[in-house]
Amino acid sequence: MIINQKPFDLVFLDADKPRLLEHMEALLTNDTLLRKGNGIIIVDNTLWKGLVLEACHGYTKKKNVIKGDEDNNKKSRRARRLALMMHRFNEQMKNDDRVDVKLLPLRDGLTVIRKL
């Protein structure tokens, strides 16, 4: 028996950040996953701990690395790398003519994307 499955109206993405653009591409190119015209995607962490602002200005390298605190330095490097990925994601979505984008500066950032 074949079930006629309808596309989703709303998708919440809190996915693997390095592959976020791949997830978006799947949702935008496949009308059986997300409804075209009014399908909504909400993406979490698009301001990534406030570090996206630094990334958009090119401040992705921290100059003052604390010696003897390698664990925190590694976490800090990872956070800056993810912030740069989120900045690239935000830029790509802003320039994508298949979507209408609104970024909400709540906590770590929520982006609401409407598939056109």
Please give the model's pTM, rounded to 2 decimal places.
0.81
DSSP-derived secondary structure for 57-112: TT--S-S-PPTT-HHHHHHHHHHHHHHHHHHHHHHHHHT-TTEEEEEE-STT-EEE
**pLDDT (tens digit, 0 to 9) for every residue of the chain, 116 residues total?**
556 688 999 999 998 899 999 999 999 999 999 999 989 999 999 998 888 887 777 654 555 444 555 555 666 888 888 999 999 999 999 999 999 999 999 989 999 999 99
CB 33 within 8 A of CB 96: no
Q: How do the domains of the chain map onto residue ranges?
A: 10-115
Fold classification of 10-115 is Rossmann fold (3.40.50)
